[in-house]
Structure 1
């Protein structure tokens, strides 16, 4: 005997299969096929009377395929099946994706009015307001929770100098999370652009290293040691330590000021070692802009090189030999055949330092230093001004 649950499972499985077919069509650049599959899946999904992750996923795909009306219709049905804060913020995100930021802002505001202690709603509303500078809607909220009210007030205070401006990556990240972004070679002046993807090589690492050193000098911050948080960060940590004439330590000491160096936020998140107030944390890259959760929890990352999905040129193939302390890197030999050579972190660090010596003049450096001289509220460095 086929039960109702069996039927629902079959329907959801069929919808999931359709989504996989859509993604395959997109991978083959067959957008027309993807659109037809999405329309077919839309009809199936509308019959669902239960919450379904597949239905939400199809909604997002439809919006990305410029089928905004159908995608939002499906998402709205899912939202009304179970009106909770997770689905409200998910629906707001789809409204933003469809270019309806004002509607998303109003939705989150209405929900926050019902209960201003819902930090997930308030947090997502803050993110939206940072994008559109609609602080008036925040000001109309009556927030009774003192911690949430303080969070909103601090973000607004940091963002106040930029009200009316488009917030680039540097201003957004500073306003929301007090994180310093050094930026890459393509960034001009005191602005940082949004990157889809960055291949971070020794040249880019050298440029970031020079900006990091200049910032440390400008802030009169003296490091006593550098700590490499992961294997792929070792070359940068070694290069930084050599430029400063200090050691790379294996344990973080409470004496002096140590800088932890990570290759990415992913590797950073896997490290749970506690740190003290004298420890600064630097990450060569972070995949995406910080979220409101970072603002609430006070991100232990202080400084970032680039915010973008990033691969390191010296970690291609990601082969690591911990017993040798060596990293495998791919290159083309003289016969243009792909070969594999094992490089030590020290040799890669030397390559970074060689690039450092040959760097051209950095037109953006002065503007970067001036920006952070003016906007200097940072975690563990300043209590706020």
Structure 2
């Protein structure tokens, strides 16, 4: 099967990344946002010959004239009608495919309700008529992209941070903190410049905010969010594992997602994990740190790490019928066909 007949689609809270099996980069990345004209603007929009549904970047250009909706929240689809408009844009306008001739690999957050996976499979077969479907957990795809079977993934994007451990691609523990990543992502609009123009023409000057925003990833109470920071999540997650697996996980901590792209974040994370290990495990005995081989893997393309892992997996398995849920499987078994993805 040609690679262009195997689609990979990573649906994120902030952006959709879509493309084809075996690709090193997504074919298209666009905001996961849907807009509808406000009543008072309908007439003017009709004069501009714009459609009643706007998806992606155009929503920002027309934000004052649109009612904006975000169909994905914390990585989980909340509005299926709007998600259909997003997928229409991805399949028909960005990738320009005929779904009936294609298979599709979709990504899934680790705490996604089973009903959502069932709805996703139903939509792919009944609305788009894909020939085959597979759904894989995002953290597993990150490990694939890094060439690992066992490790700990910190997936921090627009809306949620997950810490997931996996042993031979089988989940052993999931820890999550919601919402503070989104606060950081919003504030990061102001991170990279000392001054910037706002949409209304005002100029703002930024000082300490440049480091205060990403600081919330480590100290979420700064933005009034309860829960562990990133280093605490990692340390707690590993220490709650079987003692025989802990050292392996400390050696393979993989960063993934746009909120891990801040300069200096990997070294800051390493220092904080070492501090916690020294205090809680070694009781202050610094000599014991020599035996801890802590490694934070920060691949340069980690912003699209989940998509890249999906492209690798889809490319390897494109001609393996036992891997994919076929249309026939779905018609015969219904949602029980999800057992092929290990998620029924």
TM over 0.5: no
More strand by proportion, 1 or 2? Answer: 2
> 1 or 2 for the larger relative contact order (CA 8 Å, sep ≥6)?
2
More helix by proportion, 1 or 2? Answer: 1
Larger radius of gyration between Structure 1 and Structure 2: 1
TM-score normalized by the length of structure 1: 0.26
